[in-house]
Homo-oligomer: A and B are copies of this chain.
Amino acid sequence: MNIGILGAGQLGQMLALAGYPLGNRFTFLDTTGGHSAAIGEIISDPQNRRLGDFLERVDVVTYEFEHLPVALIREIEAHRPVYPSSRAIAVCQNRVEEKALFDRLSIPTPEYRVVESAAALEEAARALGCPAVAKSTTEGYDGKGQAVLKTPDDAPRAWDEIGHSQLIVEAFVDFVREVSIIAVRGRDGEVRFYPMAENRHADGILRYSVAPLPDLDDSVQTTADGYIRALLDELDYVGVLALELFQTRDGRLLANEMAPRVHNSGHWTMDGAVTSQFENHLRAVQGLPLGDTRARFPTCMANVIGREPDSGEVLRQADVHLHRYGKAERPGRKLGHVNLVAQDHAELARRLDALASLLPDAPAPRFSFVT
């Protein structure tokens, strides 16, 4: 089966690497002109003139990037099956619709307001209490389009800084940790859940994800499974969905945002789970049975950001698995990731310290389960 992928970055490349062994071939439609994927045919189409060429090569279409025009997805849907659907992408690319869906499905979120002026932003910050976080309702990712208000007086500055006509303002959550749940739903409605990961960000960019978590109560996983299943079923979703959450001091989960695709916080599955998120996404979109989502070993994913480490030094570490994306160095850019696999979490924490010291500008890894 020839699979079309909208976008041609590292997620597309990792999908292709997982798909060749399944017998798939890949065609990428790159509407941005900034592709880095090197496997499969890339149709570079910044002028939107080559959709026909793309469609005639592919049997089914998926994407690695959700900030695509919904009209484009709808046009493709008229000719080829697209998974996840245009409805899923429409919800995920607008924080107002996303929050409304969370509300409708009784998935708790931080308290929030939608505002459309600097004055309204100031009023919302006063009502919610500060610190508060303002986010553009569209086009935000990796911490872009966001600002923290320490006091309501920061509103004019934040409004100008973000520069969007509509923002969501959220009450600051005093969370213990950021976590995520990744699940996959097949064409037949079957759902499988990966063990939750704990995620550590720096400067708004994911740095580390660890899964499974030794100190996660089963009931928390079950709660998260229930939330993501509600989303998957409501959207009649096919493929991998990621849901980022805050875990509060009293153990509750508050949904932050979701991504309708394979997700950075699921890269640990490439070496730590029976079936990777990439393979499971591909199995789902082509109607194949889903693979086992069980974790084999405690695994930590460490992102390589901005500058490359010495590959030799990294590969000299025990049970590390390097995943480079073939991109040029640039501050803040995701260039690759390293998966570290260990027999237990104590060993994982110890070896992670050694690994982190080899990654340029990597913050010290700190996880809630390390005492």
- Residues of chain B within 8 A of A326, CB atoms compared: 20, 23, 25
| Alpha-carbon distance between A283 and B315 when the two chains are bound, in angstroms | 9
Check A164 for interface membership: any CB of B closer than 8 A: no
Check A163 for interface membership: any CB of B closer than 8 A: no
Q: Are B17 and A20 in contact (CB under 8 A)?
A: yes
- Residues of chain B within 8 A of A322, CB atoms compared: 21-23
Stretch at the interface among A68-76, A144-152, A288-296: A288-296
- Residues of chain B within 8 A of A289, CB atoms compared: 312, 315-316
Q: Could you tell me which residues of chain A, from 1 to 54, have a CB within 8 Å of some CB in chain B? A: 13, 17, 20-23, 25, 38-40
Q: Are A288 and B315 in contact (CB under 8 A)?
A: yes
Which of B25, B283, B296 makes the CB contact (< 8 A) with A38?
A: B25
Chain B's closest residue to A291 (CB) is: B315
Chain B's closest residue to A13 (CB) is: B20
Residue total for A at the interface (Cβ-Cβ under 8 A): 31
- Residues of chain B within 8 A of A324, CB atoms compared: 20-23
Check A357 for interface membership: any CB of B closer than 8 A: no
Q: Are B288 and A312 in contact (CB under 8 A)?
A: yes
Check A176 for interface membership: any CB of B closer than 8 A: no
Check A127 for interface membership: any CB of B closer than 8 A: no
Chain B's closest residue to A318 (CB) is: B292
| Alpha-carbon distance between A336 and B24 when the two chains are bound, in angstroms | 13
Chain B's closest residue to A323 (CB) is: B21
| Alpha-carbon distance between A137 and B76 when the two chains are bound, in angstroms | 58
- Residues of chain B within 8 A of A341, CB atoms compared: 274
Chain B's closest residue to A287 (CB) is: B312
Give the shortest distance, in Å, between A2 (CB) and chain B (any CB): 11
Check A319 for interface membership: any CB of B closer than 8 A: yes
- Residues of chain B within 8 A of A17, CB atoms compared: 17, 20-21
Q: Are A274 and B21 in contact (CB under 8 A)?
A: no
Check A311 for interface membership: any CB of B closer than 8 A: yes
Q: Could you tell me which residues of chain A, from 250 to 297, have a CB within 8 Å of some CB in chain B? A: 274, 283, 287-289, 291-292, 296
Give the shortest distance, in Å, between A195 (CB) and chain B (any CB): 16
| Alpha-carbon distance between A323 and B23 when the two chains are bound, in angstroms | 8
| Alpha-carbon distance between A323 and B19 when the two chains are bound, in angstroms | 9
Give the shortest distance, in Å, between A42 (CB) and chain B (any CB): 13
| Alpha-carbon distance between A243 and B323 when the two chains are bound, in angstroms | 30
Q: Are A38 and B13 in contact (CB under 8 A)?
A: no
Q: Could you list 20 further interchain pairs (A-B, Cβ under 8 angstroms) beyond the known A20-B324, A22-B311, A296-B296?
A: A17-B20, A17-B21, A20-B38, A20-B326, A21-B322, A21-B323, A22-B324, A23-B311, A23-B322, A23-B326, A25-B38, A25-B326, A39-B39, A274-B341, A283-B315, A288-B311, A288-B312, A289-B312, A291-B315, A292-B318
15 CB contacts below 8 A, A to B, read: A17-B20, A20-B39, A20-B324, A20-B326, A21-B321, A21-B323, A21-B324, A39-B39, A39-B40, A274-B341, A283-B315, A288-B311, A288-B315, A291-B315, A292-B318
Closest 6 CB pairs of A and B: A23-B324, A289-B316, A21-B323, A289-B315, A288-B315, A39-B39
